Structure 1
Amino acid sequence: MKFIGEISVQLNSNKIIEACLLAGKIMLENGAETYRVEDTMQRMATSLGVKQSHCFAMPTGIIFSIDEMEQTKLVRVLERTIDLNKVAMVNNISRRMAQGEISVDEALLELKQIDESKPEYPVWLQLTSVSILSGWFLIMFQGKWADFVPAMISGGLGFAFLVYVHRFAKIKFFSEFLASFVIGFTAIWQVKLGIGTDLDKIIIGSVMPLVPGLHITNAVRDLMAGHLVAGLSKGAEAFLTAFAIGSGIAIVLSIY
């Protein structure tokens, strides 16, 4: 009986680790801060009866262990995007677990459904939103209303190219560089054809949706929370994105 009880405890602990790691993986993949990931995982473990757990999260992986178990598990995070709706859904599961509303098995089932679900907004809707947003960024930077449509065209084409290239080339820097190149190329030709008037404002409005604002914010918040490794690595990622955008525009301007 004692042996059977130990097996039962071990199986339950494995489920707890699996649920916590899956929750952390979903959050990291979809734009959550590193300190928030660790806090959520530890809160989930505590709500399931774990007295002491240890979590170490980085932008590329998570390590998690429970004191009662010798086993430590690692999960890699290879893809990162922005879907704050999934982050909110995981936080909601964590709160429900803390209130005792759902068990670890129910949490695992819901987390797997969240992980396997597609983005809430289809690509065509994202493309439309980015196009309109590019035009409003132009107005925000005191551009002319006559350049609203040219900025929409440049921003929409750049984002479409970003999505298309990223499907084949998983190197984020490369897809962002080419997307900014397309934006600069489209903006210049619109001005040359007389469709647009102010090249600088069209380019600025079009590249703004590509700017890594969330990465910069997360980097600062992680640094302020004492997560130096994660903060510096996210800051470096944001810098590379900004460098890719700037390089693509600079090359187009130097050619034309």
Structure 2
Amino acid sequence: MAGRIMIENGSEMYRVEDTMNRIAQNAGEKDVVVFTTPMGLFMGIKNKHYVQLRAIQSRTMNLEKVSRVNSLSREFAQHQINLNQLHHELELVDRNTPVFPFWEQVVAAAIVSCTLMIIFAGEYDWIDMPLCAVVGAIGYAIFYYLNLWSNVRFVSEFMASFILGLAAFVGVHLGLGHNINNIIIGAVMPLVPGVAITNAFRDLLAGHLLTGISRATEAVLSACAIGTGIALIFRFFV
């Protein structure tokens, strides 16, 4: 359960395996075998007929859950909780971990968009900042709702980037901004799979070649979907 929660919420694979091994060892099982992939995980005990398999149904990014699982594994290692309490707490983490409300996520996307626009543009473009914030918020909101309705992640990223680019074009055309390049560069940042790319390289460096390659491929496909949506705007409107 601990491993599944961590994989589903964006943890690196070496951290997943380390956490599972530590929980098993602190529970008295020294000889365990753990094998993890982005689609499932396997755990067995050497010289015993005990093997568990868990399928990974969905993958998202919720580092709060990863942090809570790490904290619980440390509490178990320090004998602050027993195995039954650990299992109960993991169930609570899996089901009841609070998330930020939708409006706060949209506001955060707006703030990230305009601030990163300044970083990438290299200047304080005060005129374009309000439009960039609005466009970034619109793009993230579209991405959020399409993820609820569609199981194909790349479709939601493509549509969100396309509508985001269209909103930037309309805003500039109406005189609300003047540099569409800076606006789009900032507004698209909440959609960029930065954590996925980072975790992919960390897994590769840690020797998890299968996981690293698969995660890197997923991140590249996400980037291609985002880039295609923006490219269509420049091809047909700009």
- 1:23 maps to which residue? 2
Match of 1:73 among 52, 66, 75: 52
Match of 1:128 among 93, 98, 107: 107
- 2:214 maps to which residue? 233
- 1:41 maps to which residue? 20
Q: CA deviation at 1:209?
A: 1.3
Which amino acid is the alignment partner of residue 76 of structure 1?
A
1:98 aligns with 2:77: yes
Distance in 1, Cα, partners of 2:150 & 2:97: 20
The alignment's TM-score, normalised by the length of structure 1, stands at 0.90
Distance in 2, Cα, partners of 1:94 & 1:242: 34
- 1:178 maps to which residue? 159
Which stretches of structure 1, 4 residues or longer, exceed 3 Å deviation after superposition? none
Q: Secondary structure at the match of 1:195?
A: coil
**Unaligned stretches of 5+ residues in structure 1:** 1-21
RMSD of aligned Cα (Å) = 1.0
Q: CA deviation at 1:83?
A: 1.1
1:243 aligns with 2:221: no
- 1:198 maps to which residue? 179
Measured against aligned partners, the alpha-carbon deviations of 1:5-54 in whole angstroms (never above 9, x if no partner) come to xxxxxxxxxxxxxxxxx100111111100111011000000000002111
Q: CA deviation at 1:67?
A: 2.2
- 2:30 maps to which residue? 51
User: Which structure has the larger Rg?
Assistant: 1
Which amino acid is the alignment partner of residue 230 of structure 1?
T
C-alpha contact (below 8 Å) 2:65/2:97 kept by paired residues = no
Distance in 1, Cα, partners of 2:148 & 2:62: 17
Match of 1:222 among 178, 182, 203: 203
Q: CA deviation at 1:69?
A: 3.1
Q: CA deviation at 1:119?
A: 4.0
Distance in 1, Cα, partners of 2:159 & 2:50: 44
Q: CA deviation at 1:71?
A: 2.8
- 2:135 maps to which residue? 154
C-alpha contact (below 8 Å) 2:109/2:136 kept by paired residues = yes
